[in-house]
Amino acid sequence: MEILNSMKIRKLLFVFLSITILFACKKDEELIDDIPREFGKVNMSFFHTVAGEDVIFDSLIYINEAGNKYQVDEIMYFITDLEFVRDDSKVFTLSYDKSVHYIDIDVPESLNWKIEDNIPIGKYDSLRFVFGLDENRNKTFAFLNPPESSMFWPDVLGGGYHYLKLNGKWENLENNIVPFNFHLGIGQFYSGDEFIIDSITDFVHNHFTVSVPLSNFVVEKDKQTDLNLEMQLENWFRNPHIWDHNYWGGSIMQNQAAIRQACENGHDVFKQK
């Protein structure tokens, strides 16, 4: 009798444990960090505008807040570490190795990013990402093939890669049309007043986080949701710092003060289109 009771108890324990494991597994299947485990896909497209209109390249037709007449010739940049923020404040972060995208107006396929990760369903209020590459990603030889490899940042200036190349021309005070290279990346501190490579004392990472409010952005189960992201080029030159090409000159790669102001202007460059 005692043997039978012992067997019954063991059977009951086995059933109890099985049910417990089943429910635990079911909960794990349904939730990822309290986000429902039902998915859709997101496809991002990138647009580049001035005053709300698609940028017209290679044409000296724009005027910035400082009164500089300018044109845009090339735009190349990285965005990384993408996060989707739901309306309940829960955050979904893309897989580390799938969260780097390079955009180049001369490479049409780069203007579309079909995100590989499955995105949990729901309404999302904002998108967050790093503009550029953080310390962990921004390593020399991280990209071996073009076009990304062409974004290299000289090793003597800190190495790694440009966050942004925004190239164009402006009309200077002598009414000459001269080039500008609005380039963002690792900055340098110098021991003197001149930008002499031998006098570099330290480097500074200038990547920054962008938060883009989203309106009516809902990821539905087993469907693809399109997200259009617009870079408002004029905002690089106006808020909070009015950018004067005549003051900063045509190249800022060795001027940390200029790079810092440019990065601070980047906070509202992007919006949902």
Contact present, 91 and 141 (Cβ < 8 Å): no
Residue 34: its pLDDT value, please? 59
- Choice between 182 and 31, residue whose per-residue pLDDT is larger: 182
Q: pLDDT class for 2, splitting at 50, 70, 90?
A: very low
Please state, in angstroms and rounded to a whole number, the distance separating the CA atoms of residues 206 and 255: 12
Q: pLDDT class for 3, splitting at 50, 70, 90?
A: very low
Please state, in angstroms and rounded to a whole number, the distance separating the CA atoms of residues 228 and 66: 29
Residue 24: its pLDDT value, please? 39
DSSP-assigned beta bridge partners for residue 196: none
Number of domains the chain is built from: 2
pTM of the model: 0.85
Contact present, 32 and 120 (Cβ < 8 Å): yes
Residue 196: its pLDDT value, please? 86
> Is the pLDDT assigned to residue 1 strictly greater than 70?
no
- Specify whether 105 is located in the same domain as 7: no
What are the tens digits of pLDDT across the range 35-89? 557 999 999 999 999 999 999 999 999 999 999 999 999 999 999 999 999 989 8
- Specify whether 12 is located in the same domain as 48: no
Please state, in angstroms and rounded to a whole number, the distance separating the CA atoms of residues 203 and 62: 34
- Specify whether 184 is located in the same domain as 236: yes
Contact present, 83 and 129 (Cβ < 8 Å): yes
- Specify whether 91 is located in the same domain as 181: yes
Average pLDDT of the residues in 157-180: 98
- Specify whether 23 is located in the same domain as 152: no
- Specify whether 78 is located in the same domain as 122: yes
- Specify whether 28 is located in the same domain as 120: no
Q: pLDDT class for 244, splitting at 50, 70, 90?
A: very high
- Specify whether 177 is located in the same domain as 239: yes
- Specify whether 156 is located in the same domain as 219: yes
What are the tens digits of pLDDT across the range 246-270? 999 999 999 999 999 999 999 999 9
What are the tens digits of pLDDT across the range 30-50? 344 555 579 999 999 999 999
Average pLDDT, the chain: 90
Q: What's the burial of 262, exposed, middle or buried (CB within 10 Å: 0-12/13-18/19+)? A: buried
Q: How far is CA 229 from the centre of its chain?
A: 11
- Specify whether 78 is located in the same domain as 25: no
- Specify whether 226 is located in the same domain as 244: yes
- Specify whether 144 is located in the same domain as 223: yes
DSSP-assigned beta bridge partners for residue 219: 122
What are the tens digits of pLDDT across the range 19-32? 444 443 333 333 44
- The pair of three-digit structure tokens given for residue 215, joined into one six-digit string: 């309106």
Domain extent, residue 160, equals 40-272
Residue 27: its pLDDT value, please? 33
